[in-house]
């Protein structure tokens, strides 16, 4: 069938709106008509070839829509179901079987390779193969053939134009707090970066009862939003001394948790330095492969601190996304405060608004 898609053709080049051919869904796939899809920083860095998904490609990995067809092996959804789309995984490796699909043995292949496991692509432009199945979906298109493990069924009464970002960015930030760090009620956390992932982390920290929630950024408007979302303190790291401010806020004890959403080595190092005894610093940003960071391990040895990396919030999407929806329904996860919608054809404007900090979470609506 013919579909309209946004095509990434070269690094730092605007997306092109084109018509492509979509093949038939395989037995383990679902064809979804998209209602909306989020714009994520990962889409930008893959477009710019920080990660080597072959171009030309249809990217997009925060889709939401309605099922139009199901493969013969699919039992989790039916035609007409409302769905949110998330990352793909094999379902049979040790990590998947242990409930850790974000660390699937074939995570890179199934999410970044630009093709199905057999090497085929779902999209073509005449005789030219177009990379598909980005995060199992490639949701920058009107219709997609999605890996069944990327599909999360949701209530048909829910606003699909709002929920797509739960599939990656918001799931990542909230999952880092709830699943990975298991932030405790009454504890303290510092979140570096108040984009969509950082704001999701702030909302989740407030929802689980953290009592000192510190948002750190260089954009005052984002810090103002962070206060609305539950941050008890905000720090502009461009104009303020982060370590001195946190020392004062915590009465020189340091924080229990520090979450870096930027992927900048100096920021991650700062997160480690502000930890209290027994604290944990975690990274959910996406630095380029080969990026290194140094930590002080002499005096800080007495802290007994921890460092960990996190993908997709250590979530099982089919379990965690419905939990986030319940938090939203209870008013504890107000994702609408982060979002601005753009027409799908305005995709380049949406990316520019996200990159400039003008918008926290851009959502494309079909």
Check pLDDT > 90 for residue 285.
Answer: no
Q: What is the pLDDT of residue 225?
A: 95
**Residue 73 confidence class, pLDDT cut points 50, 70, 90:** very high
SS3 279: strand
- By CB atoms closer than 10 A (0-12, 13-18, 19+), residue 157 is exposed
Q: What is the mean pLDDT of residues 142-166?
A: 97
Check pLDDT > 90 for residue 286.
Answer: no
Check pLDDT > 90 for residue 272.
Answer: yes
**Is the backbone peptide bond immediately before 202 cis, with ω within 30 degrees of 0?**
no
100-136 in b/e burial notation, b at 16+ Cβ within 10 A?
A: bbbbbebbebbbbbbbbeeeebbbeeeeebbbbbbbb
| Residue 138 φ/ψ, nearest 5 degrees | 60, 70
- By CB atoms closer than 10 A (0-12, 13-18, 19+), residue 209 is exposed
- What does DSSP say about strands 361-365 and 339-343: parallel, antiparallel, or unpaired? parallel
Check pLDDT > 90 for residue 123.
Answer: yes
Q: What is the pLDDT of residue 230?
A: 95
Check pLDDT > 90 for residue 316.
Answer: yes
Domains of the chain listed by start with CATH number: 2-167+334-365 (3.90.180.10), 173-311 (3.40.50.720)
Check pLDDT > 90 for residue 287.
Answer: no
| Residue 101 φ/ψ, nearest 5 degrees | -65, -20
- What does DSSP say about strands 233-236 and 212-217: parallel, antiparallel, or unpaired? parallel
Does the CA dihedral 269-274-280-286 come out positive or negative?
A: negative
User: Could you read off the pLDDT of 189-238 as tens digits, one per residue?
Assistant: 999 999 999 999 999 999 999 999 999 999 999 999 999 999 999 999 99
Residue 240: count other Cβ atoms within 10 Å of its Cβ: 12
Residues 91, 96: Cα–Cα separation, whole Å: 5
SS3 145: strand
Residues 87, 313: Cα–Cα separation, whole Å: 11
- Mean residue pLDDT of the chain comes to 96
Q: What is the pLDDT of residue 37?
A: 98
Q: Could you tell me if 202 and 215 are in contact, meaning their C-beta atoms sit under 8 angstroms apart?
A: yes
Check pLDDT > 90 for residue 58.
Answer: yes
């Amino acid at each position: 069938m013919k579909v309209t898609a946004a095509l990434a053709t070269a690094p730092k080049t605007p997306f092109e709106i084109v018509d492509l051919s979509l093949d038939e869904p395989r037995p383990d796939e679902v064809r979804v008509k998209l209602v909306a899809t989020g714009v994520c920083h990962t889409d930008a860095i893959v477009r710019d070839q920080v990660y080597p998904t072959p171009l030309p490609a249809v990217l997009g990995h925060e889709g939401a829509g309605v099922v139009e067809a199901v493969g013969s092996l699919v039992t989790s959804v039916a035609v007409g179901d409302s769905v949110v789309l998330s990352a793909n995984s094999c379902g049979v490796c040790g990590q998947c079987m242990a409930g850790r699909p974000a660390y699937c043995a074939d995570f890179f292949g199934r999410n970044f390779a630009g093709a199905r496991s057999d090497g085929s692509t779902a999209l073509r432009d005449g005789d030219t193969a177009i990379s598909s199945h980005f995060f199992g979906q490639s949701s920058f298109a009107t219709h997609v053939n999605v890996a069944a493990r990327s599909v999360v069924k949701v209530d048909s009464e829910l606003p699909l134009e709002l929920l797509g970002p739960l599939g990656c960015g918001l799931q990542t930030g909230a999952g880092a707090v709830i699943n990975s760090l298991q932030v405790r009620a009454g504890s303290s956390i510092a979140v570096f970066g108040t984009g969509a992932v950082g704001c999701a982390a702030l909302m989740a920290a407030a929802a689980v009862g953290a009592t000192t929630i510190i948002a750190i950024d260089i954009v005052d408007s984002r810090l103002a939003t962070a206060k609305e979302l539950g941050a008890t303190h905000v720090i502009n790291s461009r104009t303020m001394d982060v370590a001195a401010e946190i020392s004062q806020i915590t009465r020189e004890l340091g924080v229990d948790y520090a979450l870096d959403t930027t992927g900048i080595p100096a920021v991650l190092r700062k997160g480690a330095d502000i930890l209290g005894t027994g604290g944990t610093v975690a990274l959910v940003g996406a630095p380029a492969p080969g990026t290194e960071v140094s930590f002080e391990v002499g005096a800080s040895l007495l802290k007994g601190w921890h460092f960990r990396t996190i993908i997709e919030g250590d979530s099982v999407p089919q379990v965690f996304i419905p939990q986030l929806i319940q938090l939203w329904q209870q008013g504890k996860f107000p994702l609408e405060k982060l979002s601005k919608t753009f027409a799908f054809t305005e995709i380049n404007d949406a990316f520019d608004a996200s990159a400039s900090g003008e918008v926290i979470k851009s959502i494309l609506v079909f």
